[in-house]
Structure 1
Amino acid sequence: MPGQPCRGTVHRLNGQTICFTGRVLVDGEWRVRTHCAERAAQQGATPKTDFSRKVTLVVYGDLASKVVTDDRRTYSSTLVDAEAERRHGRHVCVVDADGFSALLRGRPAPCLELRRARTGRVRPVAAAAPEARILGGPLRLRRTGRRAHVDLTLDLSRLDEATAAHETTVGALIEHLSRQGVEACTNAAGAPEFDAGWSLGEDIFVAEVKSLTGAREDQQIRLGIGQILDYAHQLRSTCPSAAIRPVLVLERRPSAVRWTALADSVCLRLTWAPEFAGI
């Protein structure tokens, strides 16, 4: 519920009342506040130009890595006001540019702590977590749609088919795990953005899902292998005590049998819909 403690993670933009301290670096490109507000509104947020008691989420923009002084400039007073609201018992979430980019992609983002110095300066800092987390909340399907036919060199209809096939495979995986009493999860805030994760006993499985519709099969499989092995390597570095099991999930059985042998050679589980053998 907006205004209540987030327990360290902002899960979605939908339902948030949002304001920005300035332009924001979104996926490597600087975007002005109006553009960011439009993007947030598309995700179900309500943008505000100034901070008020209705605001539940502040996006910390172009002052990143700088100390904010308690003056009356709008972009600097926003964090001061947010910190004051927190002290009075109303939690206002604060995310940085990376967090906002993640939320735009439907991924969770860490909520930043606010530190006030004796001089009245306020600065956002990453909240200290007791331990690194891997799995986030329950995995949900994303909406897909078909674009209108227009004269573009890229065949967007085939792109939509691939996206729909991806989400269909994700949905089938969720149902397959559910029948075994296992809940499919998203990635935790700060963890690599794998497509699905779940735990069995002491093992944590992280999966990349690849559709084979409208794309070269070998190219998709090579991409998926590289991605999931990279995610597993990152997680083993940050969570050395966790037993990480990488999984590549395909839309269907691959045409070439060699991929199974390759996966076995790098300790990767390879499976595909609809049976999902081995998981």
Structure 2
Amino acid sequence: MSAQCTGWIHELRGQTMMFTGKTRVDGEWVVREECFSRVQTLGADYQNSFSRKVTLVVHGELTGNVKDADRALSGKLLKVIESRCEGRHIHVVDNAGYSDLLFGAPARCRDLKVQGEYVTVMPEIGEGFLGGPFDRLRLRTRGIDRLEAGVLGRGTPRHDKLLSRLVERVAGRRALDVRAPARRGPQFDLGWVSERTAYGAWVAAPEQSGNEGTRRLAEAVEYVGKSARPAARHGQVQRVVVLEDAVDLSSGLRETARTSGLLIGKVKDVPL
């Protein structure tokens, strides 16, 4: 028996919540009373026991297989599965998803599956690297520091034009799951999932003048290479640097990218 969901939950307001297991916010354990206080501040309600009013369950430290269906922890997840199978959907998020919702970011509603005496919280490819659905407006309004502006060209018309071309190519493939970066992960421009690999692409379109062009592009590749290396909790992660068509992909740029574990190329070269 399984209960699948491919959707997202975007805010806590209006939800009636129930918690299972130990709850952490960005890795820090939070006592249950504090959890209740936080969700009420954001317009949600909570219950200690399962009922038809519950719309969202935070499963806490129950990732992987939850053994013994008679225990309260896994019993609550079984109730969720039963409700979903009856046509009444209940959202389920983990600690990371709950943390994202507290800070205004969307969270993936998790799939659950019963296998014998286990309730399995199904993993997602790119967890901790990929965030919610790609949102161009959110991308445009995010803070851009001077280093990103100088090295990558973020916030400039050239960068915006190249990013638009990348979005058009990736989003045009209906089979791809187009995503934003995780709230606490490396801040790439556009992410997607293809087969079992999560891709994160940085568009590099720095202002170029004479012989400075090659140096600036090398700086851009090094900047991405030094970005936090993601620890893939499920599936593979691949970082990509996307350059303008007119750029000469020198052997030096390719070698810098290779040693940093990056793919580098033009929009037409991105792996889909």
- Give the alignment's TM-score, normalised by structure 1: 0.52
> Matched residues, percent identical?
23
- The 3-state SS of whatever aligns with 2:80 is helix
Deviation, 1:141, is 3.6
CA distance in structure 2 between the partners assigned to 1:143 and 1:31 by the alignment: 29
- Residues of 2 paired with 1:56 and 1:111: CA distance? 13
User: Which of 86, 89, 92 in structure 1 is aligned with 2:87?
Assistant: 89
- Distance between the aligned counterparts of 1:225 and 1:267, measured in 2? 7
Secondary structure at the counterpart of residue 262 of structure 1? helix
Q: Deviations over 1:160-183 (max 9, x none)?
A: 442996984786554222455744
Q: Work out the CA distance in 1 between the residues paired with 2:61 and 2:235.
A: 29
- Matched AA of 1:59: V
For residue 125 of structure 1, the aligned residue among 108, 114, 120 is 120
Aligned partner of 2:17 among 2, 15, 19: 19
Does the CA contact (< 8 Å) of 2:67 and 2:119 recur in 1?
no
The answer to whether the 8 Å contact 1:210/1:224 transfers is no
The gaps in structure 2 that reach 5 residues or longer are: 206-215, 244-249
Structure 2 Cα separation of the partners of residues 140 and 226 of structure 1 = 25
Q: What is aligned with 1:224?
A: 224
> 2:191 is paired with a residue of what secondary structure?
strand
Alpha-carbon shift at residue 225 of structure 1 (Å): 1.1
The 1:140–1:79 alpha-carbon spacing in structure 2 relative to 1, beyond 3 Å, is same
**Residue type of the alignment partner of 1:263:** A
Q: Which residue of 1 aligns with 2:145?
A: 162
- Cα distance in 2 for partners of 1:40, 1:168 equals 35
Q: Indicate the SS of the match to 1:263.
A: helix
Secondary structure of the 2:87 match is coil
Shift of residue 7, structure 1, vs aligned partner: 4.1
Looking at structure 2, the residues matched to 267 and 211 of structure 1 have their Cα atoms a distance apart, in angstroms, of 17
**Paired residue total:** 233
Task: Pick the aligned partner of 2:166 from 156, 162, 177.
Answer: 177
Q: Are the aligned partners of 1:8 and 1:112 in contact in 2 as well (CA < 8 Å)?
A: yes
The amino acid of 1:101's aligned partner reads S
Q: 1:192-221 CA deviation, whole Å, 9 max, x = no partner? A: 877323589x9x782344899xxxx99986
Question: Where does the alignment leave 5 or more consecutive residues of structure 1 unmatched?
Answer: 147-158, 251-256
Match of 1:56 in 2: 55
**C-alpha displacement of 1:63:** 6.7
Larger RCO, structure (CA 8 Å, separation 6 or more): 2
State the alpha-carbon separation in 1 of the partners of residues 258 and 6 from structure 2. 36
Q: Following the alignment from structure 1 to structure 2, what is the Cα–Cα distance between the partners of residues 38 and 140? A: 30
Measure, in 2, the Cα distance between the counterparts of 1:188 and 1:89.
32
Structure 2 counterpart SS, 1:61: coil
1:1-279 superposed matches below 5 A: 7-14=4-11, 17-21=15-19, 24-33=23-32, 35-36=34-35, 46-50=43-47, 51-61=50-60, 67=68, 69=70, 78-79=76-77, 81-103=79-101, 104=103, 106=105, 108-109=107-108, 111-113=110-112, 115=114, 124-127=119-122, 138-141=133-136, 143=138, 160-162=143-145, 168=155, 174-180=163-169, 182-183=171-172, 185-186=178-179, 195=188, 196-198=190-192, 206-209=199-202, 222=222, 224-227=224-227, 230=229, 234=232, 238=235, 246-248=239-241, 261-263=255-257, 268-270=262-264
Instruction: Give 1:54 shift.
Output: 3.8
Between the aligned partners of 2:113 and 2:268, the Cα distance in structure 1 is 47
d(CA) in 1 for partners of 2:85, 2:71: 16
What secondary structure is seen at the aligned counterpart in 2 of 1:177? helix
1:156 is matched with which residue?
Answer: none
